[in-house]
Structure 1
Amino acid sequence: MSFPNRRHFLVTGLAAGAAAALPATLAPGAAFADDPAADPTAEAASRGLRGDPFTVGVASGDPDHEGFVLWTRLAQQPLAEDGLGGMPQRPFPVQWQVYADERLRRVVRAGVATAAPEWGHSVHVEVDGLAADREYWYRFRVGPYVSPAGRTRTAPHPASYGGALAMAFVSCAQYEHGYFTSYRRLAEDHPDLVLHLGDYQYEYTRDTYTIPGGNIRDHEGPETETLAGYRQRHAQYKTDPDLQAAHAAAPWLVVWDDHELDNNWADKVPEKPEIPQPGFLARREAAFRAYYENMPLRRTSIPRGVDMQLYRRVRWGRTATFHMLDTRQYRDDQGCGDGYKNCPAAVDPARSITGAEQEAWLLDGFRRSRAQWDILGQQVFFAQRDNNAGPAKITSMDAWDGYVASRRRITQGWVDAGVRNAVVLTGDVHAHWASDLKLDYDDPTGPSVGAELVATSISTTGDGADSDPAAHPFLAINPHLKFYNNQRGYVLTRIERDQITADFKVVPQVTVPGAEAYTRATFVIEDRVPGVQQTYLRPLDPGLRAAPVTVEDTVRQETERP
């Protein structure tokens, strides 16, 4: 589905401070004036603007059966070093409209929100009162400047299943490592919903985190440590036209991982705690504020100092409940340091990756759920991945393997609650994976109790390479692991009452723009049949065949950092 051709890109958002401007309703059917001179308020509204403020796109998110969030951020000069986007230090009234048709003729909701400088001139509009389970379109205007339109939709009514849900999920987009081609291909698939599972942006200054042959493009500014730096970095990513297309294609559910703040951070502990960093909490506060300013989140996620409520539940009728988790803000620090280790702390029952409050919230959600599918949208690898064929377990301390008791409590929780179908969605590791989930990974003959689908990166670590997925040594050591692929891409799912179908989409290269995407493999999760079943595997392309992947290759790809 194509969007109307408009000169300016749009982004919608929330009034400063979250509730500062409840939308002022306009007459049904009112449309933005094609001739700015016809609007007597246009000149005053745009005072101080020297060019198009809609440079970083539009977005929507967190849909329910009555509405969704619309987002934009005004930025005439998005890469300005001060992070203010070249905007005058005053609030701007931003008109917004929601339409029932793609041609933007039937206005069903409209209003004015305030883009305030203290919130980076971002706008978040929480629209409600709409019909369930249908498409809508939206756009914005400031003075004579009109944004392009975005497409969004409402969820089915809580008592209804609705039709099949086309849901895509993604992770890990390192701007310097390649083009965001997969975002463009995802948009062309016209999903109903997109989940971003973290590492939306990376914090490093240019030429710090490099790929063989050198980075494809450069970050602006120093490593992100201040509010100005995080605002500038978010704006740079959002100027990418492929990312803008993906945001405009469907509503998003977003959660962060580590690079939105600092590699491998844990609660109030930075990546390298041995180096004194007295400013880390100020850095965390800046990162959280910039993240909220740049994402289509509801007012419940407005940060309060160094805290931000990001874990939440989103229901898609009776078909699915999405439990969006935060495995960074409340976790205990990684045991024995980062990386792959044989670490006694990994099995300490007192340690948690979610924190006690979030864990209790999740377990309560399992007990109350009546959904066909309970889906955990989260950051780091859930299933066990032992990289040692011998008796000693060597696993990633940054993943759920570093918090074994925490994983066991949550897995047992959905089993005890009688959850009909448990599915975990994951990012972080820069490769596609699929696996069965177990209560006891040391007993490969034991029953599966769920499924995990893992999306590769959009661009992080560069092109990657195809290989025989069955030849990966991790699959031999861990028989519950069923698939591996080290190309870039995303996962496109179709969620129905009787099954979830997952297409592992890949692009052959990201170091040059415009590659076409194809399905490398397809897996199905059947209703009440825990685990994954492969239904399609594309033959290897001889032109892309690489040397057999090794344990060392995989560990290096996941843990190599500046």
Structure 2
Amino acid sequence: MPHTRRSLFRGSLAASAVLALPSAPAALAATGPTAPSFARSGRPSAPWGVQSGEITPFSACVWTRSDRPARMSVETSPSESFRYAVRRHPGPYLGPATDFTGTATLHGLPPGQQIHYRVLLSDPEDPRRTGEPVYGTFRTTPVTRRSGVRFLWSGDLAGQGWGINPDRGGFRVFDEMRRRNPDFFLFSGDTVYADGPIQATVPLRDGSIWRNITTEEKAKVAETLAEFRGNFRYNLLDRNLRAFNAQVPVIAQWDDHEVRNNWYPGQLLDDPRYTVKEVDVLAARAGQAFSEYFPVTDLRGGRTEGRMYRVVRHGPLLDVFVLDMRTHRNANSPGRQTVDPVGILGAEQLAWLRRELARSRATWKVIASDMPLGIVVPDGATDFEAVAQGDPGAPLGRELQIAELLRFIKHRRITGTLWLTADVHYTAANHYAPERAAFTDFAPFWEFVSGPVGAGGFPHGRLDATFGPRQEFVRSAPLPNLSPAEHPPYYGEVEIDADSGELTVRLRAEGEGVLFARTLPPGQVGSH
């Protein structure tokens, strides 16, 4: 059962209304709805809401964006009313260099406790001029096993032209997920679609019209830093997402659509939509925008020493290994190499993952993979985008690197590994076992797929037999690119019981509840 928290706090819901979507009759002009305008007062405000992340037993990172230059500070309290034990945490100056975004790191927090916070923005030249506070909450991670863990994951938001539709109440799946009240949300890539313009109206197959909120930055593919930043701001126009962010900490990773579909380092584009042809230039700008719009301090300002891959620890029960299968990969190809030291992770990230998995003492080690392992994901007629390349025989190409990792996990007797992914726009449960595989030197494991959380639904892909996957469950769209009005968004839920250590995965669809569930025992190298 989910652990109990405070009731849904009033402050964040009030804050989420600051940038409420206009009502459908008011918003829908003949050409379709436009983004709501911001009423500027004489004091700084944060209409894009707040987010939290990097939660530890004793600290957390809080994000916001101001509508003008401002000084950020954060107040915390164990009380929703802020009537006692209020602490003030200084924050940075928010200015044009970071698109008026910033994060404050909160230190000295108590472990395993519900923390209420409010973000204050003040005029840099007159600290007495302070805007209305914006409220949020999170729970610090525990240091003991007295409480379990429950989190959600999904990916792919505002993709394939399906943006914020005021007729449907926006991204309403985030309201459903918020009511699940998880400890955190693993945003498994494609957090924006920088290569996916949003049109005011899109005709649906039944003759009805899908209407989108539109903005200038979403009218074309993103190339400039301002356009990439605008893609992140677009999603935050949705009241459901802002309310969700105020209540649920985020662990964000990126995949391709933060930059451009199926990109890889060094790629030169042959795409008439782009005047900037060097993907590395686009990726640098996208990376800076990503770092500015999520609470990930290691990436702030696009620092070269920052990296997307990292391990996030959540008490004794859980470590989350956040992978980056985009930045360090080799070029997409037919994947028939017999030697492939770069692969999809790069040598340095693979060494890091092996090292961190070996030193982890958590009961469960979730490998957050922005791409699936055994699902064939084509890139054009001859190349492949993910790990699998359709050849059911011995590992080739990027499969060699995954085979090395799976062999390492088996021989080091690393228990409790579980792979979670999104990317393919359907939901599935895949079990991998050596007795069904061409490569056999690994222990059985599960890979669970979810998403999209707000993009087009697609038919399911085929499996590559190299690692012996068996599809235990799948739910997918019958036709390509069905809208969220025609096929529901998907998200997954993971719950770890504090007493038994058992882990339960539930695959969910918006408005439909649990589609599939599987409970796994702890302490095994691999589990059926």
Under a length normalisation based on structure 1, what TM-score does the superposition of the two structures give? 0.73
* Corresponding residue for residue 98 of structure 2: 119
Q: Which amino acid aligns with 1:415?
A: K
What's the CA shift for 1:193?
1.4
- Residue 145 of structure 2 corresponds to residue 161 of structure 1: yes
What's the CA shift for 1:374?
1.0
- Residue 437 of structure 2 corresponds to residue 425 of structure 1: no
* Corresponding residue for residue 264 of structure 1: 262
What's the CA shift for 1:243?
1.0
Q: How does 1:29-178 map to 2 (within 5 A)?
A: 50=42, 53-75=45-67, 87=68, 91-113=69-91, 114-142=93-121, 143-157=129-143, 160-174=144-158, 176-177=161-162
Q: Which amino acid aligns with 1:103?
A: S
Q: How does 1:478-497 map to 2 (within 5 A)?
A: 480-486=470-476, 487-496=488-497, 497=500
Q: What secondary structure is seen at the aligned counterpart in 1 of 2:287?
A: helix
Work out the CA distance in 2 between the residues paired with 1:293 and 1:484: 36
Q: How does 1:451-470 map to 2 (within 5 A)?
A: 451-461=446-456
Work out the CA distance in 1 between the residues paired with 2:132 and 2:51: 15
Q: How does 1:95-494 map to 2 (within 5 A)?
A: 95-113=73-91, 114-142=93-121, 143-157=129-143, 160-174=144-158, 176-177=161-162, 179-203=170-194, 204-207=196-199, 212-213=204-205, 215-217=210-212, 219-220=214-215, 221=217, 222-269=220-267, 272=270, 277-299=276-298, 302-304=301-303, 308-336=306-334, 343-345=335-337, 348-382=339-373, 384-385=374-375, 397-402=384-389, 403-438=398-433, 442-443=437-438, 448-461=443-456, 480-486=470-476, 487-494=488-495
Alpha-carbon contact 2:200-2:213 (below 8 Å) kept: no
Alpha-carbon contact 1:136-1:152 (below 8 Å) kept: yes
Deviation string, structure 1 residues 244-280 (Cα, Å, up to 9, x no partner):
1221122111111111111111123256599995443
Q: How does 1:536-547 map to 2 (within 5 A)?
A: none
Q: Percent identity?
A: 21
Deviation string, structure 1 residues 518-559 (Cα, Å, up to 9, x no partner):
1112122222456677xxxxxxxxxxxxxxxxxxxxxxxxxx
What's the CA shift for 1:137?
1.2
Deviation string, structure 1 residues 292-334 (Cα, Å, up to 9, x no partner):
11001124654225x7411111111211111111111000011
Q: What secondary structure is seen at the aligned counterpart in 2 of 1:66?
A: coil
Work out the CA distance in 2 between the residues paired with 1:56 and 1:264: 29
Under a length normalisation based on structure 2, what TM-score does the superposition of the two structures give? 0.77
Deviation string, structure 1 residues 208-241 (Cα, Å, up to 9, x no partner):
9978546541542321111111111211111111
Aligned length: 453
Q: What secondary structure is seen at the aligned counterpart in 1 of 2:221?
A: coil
Q: What secondary structure is seen at the aligned counterpart in 1 of 2:328?
A: coil
What's the CA shift for 1:133?
1.3
Deviation string, structure 1 residues 362-404 (Cα, Å, up to 9, x no partner):
001122121111111120012x23699xxxxx99821121510
Alpha-carbon contact 2:437-2:465 (below 8 Å) kept: no
RMSD: 3.3
Q: Closer, same or farther in 2 for the Cα pair 1:445/1:327, shift >3 Å?
A: closer
Q: What secondary structure is seen at the aligned counterpart in 2 of 1:93?
A: strand
Q: Closer, same or farther in 2 for the Cα pair 1:163/1:254, shift >3 Å?
A: same
What's the CA shift for 1:180?
1.6
Work out the CA distance in 2 between the residues paired with 1:169 and 1:436: 19
Alpha-carbon contact 1:170-1:195 (below 8 Å) kept: yes
Q: What secondary structure is seen at the aligned counterpart in 2 of 1:480?
A: strand
Q: Which amino acid aligns with 1:3?
A: F
Alpha-carbon contact 1:66-1:154 (below 8 Å) kept: yes
Work out the CA distance in 2 between the residues paired with 1:423 and 1:266: 26
Q: What secondary structure is seen at the aligned counterpart in 2 of 1:177?
A: coil
Alpha-carbon contact 1:387-1:395 (below 8 Å) kept: no
Work out the CA distance in 1 between the residues paired with 2:134 and 2:282: 34
